[in-house]
């Protein structure tokens, strides 16, 4: 993906078809894998939005009758999400759909459910901003749509950062850590690494990891894991000062134990700019790692094989 490709995603104007969507006191997004990412990205942009996710079959326990249910499946053929949409419709809940086609698209048209169609022939994780903008249109958040359209950054510096990070992460176990409010960025870094580079990775958040996970790296056993661990700390000047202190102390402790720690400052004045730049950097990191490993960055053969066997 080039910088211009990203800008096209950040500025594409989605349209609601098949009617309108009523405002609701809460929103439940049903989606799996990359198709669930726009829900978390929305909360990253505005944590006050009353939005939750359901990544399973059917509806969440205690599903509210006055909520808006939004089914997101980029392919349109995700079994869990189709069951979510059908159950919402059966219960006469307010429902909308985001998809590029497939069974979910046909269901929305035939059932007179409002939908937004997004471009196809792209991996869901790489369609994040198409899906995100579609979700924001359904939520009537023109302010966040504008923020995404205005999100720009220096392409050359982002690509240089990606190259340097790929050097650090080659033949390693990447471990991405961020504050809770920036946790989506550590998670999406892990997803890029898993699906594109075909490498195991870990993601977690401060302060929770200080109460459990970090203890695993205090000993030399299993050294086969500890020796390849590469901690990537995503720093944000806007984080709580207590969390900034925690990150600093954590890095100090890990380095004293011979662990590799890389500090990365989130660049961009707005939440939208930080989101788009970090996603773009990790997209290129994962592609570079895939190239060095000799694997196809676009294929997800095991996931596809798993679906067929179901």
Judge if 111 and 172 occupy the same domain: no
Domain assignment present for residue 28? The answer is yes
Total of domains in the chain: 2
Residues 138 and 65 placed together within one structural domain of the fold = yes
Q: 175 and 65, same structural domain?
A: no
E strand intervals along the chain? 27-30, 51-54, 68-73, 94-99, 115-117, 173-179, 202-206, 229-235, 260-265
Token pair 């720690």 is found at: 261
Asked whether residue 143 falls in the same domain as residue 8, the answer is: yes
* pLDDT number for residue 33: 93
Instruction: Identify whether residues 120 and 175 lie together within a single domain.
Output: no
Tens of pLDDT, residues 55-80: 999 999 999 999 999 999 999 999 99
Note whether residue 94 is domain-resident.
Answer: yes
Domain-located, residue 7: yes
| Shared domain check, 159 and 126 | no
Q: Angle 142-149/3-11 helices, nearest 10 degrees?
A: 160
Question: Looking at the domain assignment, is residue 242 inside a domain?
Answer: yes
Contact 173, 230 (CB under 8 A): yes
Range of the domain at 233: 155-293
Average pLDDT of the chain is 96
pLDDT band for position 220 (cuts 50, 70, 90)? confident
Q: What is the mean pLDDT of residues 177-182?
A: 98
Which residue in 58, 63, 73 sits closest to 93, CA to CA? Answer: 63
Q: Decide which of 101, 131, 149 is a domain's last residue.
A: 149
Asked whether the predicted pLDDT for residue 269 surpasses 90, the reply is no
* Average pLDDT of the segment spanning 105-134: 95
Are 300 and 123 in contact by the 8 Å Cβ rule? The answer is yes
CATH number of the CATH domain containing 179: 3.40.50.10490
The answer on 188 and 136 residing in a single domain is no
Q: Looking at the structure, do residues 127 and 160 belong to the same domain, yes or no?
A: no
* 300: in domain: no
Do 83 and 109 belong to one domain? yes
């Amino acid at each position: 993906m080039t910088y211009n490709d990203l800008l096209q995603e950040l500025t594409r104007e989605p349209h609601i078809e098949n009617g309108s969507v009523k405002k609701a006191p809460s929103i439940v997004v049903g989606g799996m894998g990359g198709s669930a990412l726009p829900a978390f990205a929305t909360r990253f942009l505005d944590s006050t939005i009353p939005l939750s996710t359901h990544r399973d079959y059917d509806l969440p326990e205690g599903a509210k009758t006055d909520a808006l249910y939004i089914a997101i499946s980029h392919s349109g053929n995700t079994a869990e999400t189709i069951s979510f949409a059908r159950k919402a419709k059966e219960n006469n809940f307010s429902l909308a759909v985001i998809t590029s086609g497939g069974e979910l698209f046909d269901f929305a048209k035939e059932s007179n459910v409002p939908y937004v169609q997004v471009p196809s022939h792209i991996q869901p994780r790489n369609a994040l901003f198409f899906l995100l903008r579609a979700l924001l249109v359904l939520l009537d958040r023109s302010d966040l749509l504008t923020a995404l359209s205005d999100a720009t950054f220096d392409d050359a510096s982002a690509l240089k950062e990606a190259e340097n990070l790929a050097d650090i992460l080659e033949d390693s176990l990447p471990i991405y850590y961020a504050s809770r409010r920036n946790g989506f960025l550590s998670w999406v870094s892990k997803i890029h690494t898993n699906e594109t580079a075909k490498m195991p990775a870990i993601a977690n958040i401060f302060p929770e990891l200080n109460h459990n996970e970090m203890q695993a790296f205090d000993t030399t056993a299993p050294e086969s894991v500890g020796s390849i661990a590469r901690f990537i700390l995503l720093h944000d000047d806007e984080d709580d000062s207590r969390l900034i202190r925690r990150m600093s102390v954590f890095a100090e402790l890990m380095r004293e134990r011979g662990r590799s720690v890389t500090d990365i400052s989130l660049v961009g004045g707005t939440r939208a700019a930080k989101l788009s730049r970090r996603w773009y950097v990790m997209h290129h990191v994962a592609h570079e790692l895939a190239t060095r490993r000799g694997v196809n960055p676009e294929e997800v053969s095991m996931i596809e094989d798993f679906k067929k066997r179901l």
